[in-house]
Structure 1
């Protein structure tokens, strides 16, 4: 056998060996593996269904009041109505000046009803009764709802629990700004003193009846 034939045989053997090694690998890469479409999620458990009837309110329970009428004191007293906080300050300053002039004129006289006021608090209630219940501070009565909301926001920014309620008075529809309620009257008095000093107004302490 000559050398040329041997070289051809060796080349053929090498090609066959390479085909045996690489062709199966190439075919495996091209083969598409089947996808298992069977779910592994178990069936949902059996459960009983219940039907609930719509609730009906008891006959002997009064409906809740409208939100805009809540947290209003029942014994609200009249307060000078102003259009804004600035106007309320001006009115208070004018009344204070007028009151000072009156006190100077009548400083030598005596009060005819001094005996009637003995034993009563600023709210007009007997001292013992005045400590019972809860209290709110009525800061101002404003004819402008927008001014009332601005005053409420200012008081809230200062840390007070302030809110606004609409009321019909002899002066027309007003927006009253309140702080509270407070359980103890002493707390309301402390708030009144701080607010009067800060805003230069004369606020009221009123009994709170939820």
Structure 2
């Protein structure tokens, strides 16, 4: 068979195959029904654009709206109260016990602000009561310190390959504040505590 005839037969077969594949896609109408999606947008609500009356010097509006919102209090019966009494209201300190504003400002100025380190963090100190390898014992000692009125806490640390738990009290901004605490803690728990720098 001649090569030219073979090529024509192969070309005819390819055209027939393409026609079989694409004929239904192009010329046969689809049976699927596409729903007509319609979005219903509601109408804009009516807006009252009438300007409100200007408020008076007290910030109140006059007119029917203010009258409708006002509450009648003329008919409310209040118990008789002696307004001329010099007794201070309950819950407030007596006048003689209050501190004048000038003295409060002076006391605030006398408060020492904590010293700052080179990073801008306040320098504070804690009392290291004990260092333990058992977390349960450290938390038990902390609970004893808290029940005795001290601000105790446990800090986890790592030394070499061991995990240790420090029991501390504090922090305080001055070492002098921790000196009486150190004496009391050392005497009560029979330890030799250390004052160290507080690092959060």
Write 1 or 2 for the structure with the bigger share of helix.
1
Considering the TM-score relative to the shorter chain, is it more than 0.5? no
TM-score, normalised on structure 1? 0.36
Greater RCO between the two (CA within 8 Å, min separation 6)?
Answer: 1
TM-score, normalised on structure 2? 0.38
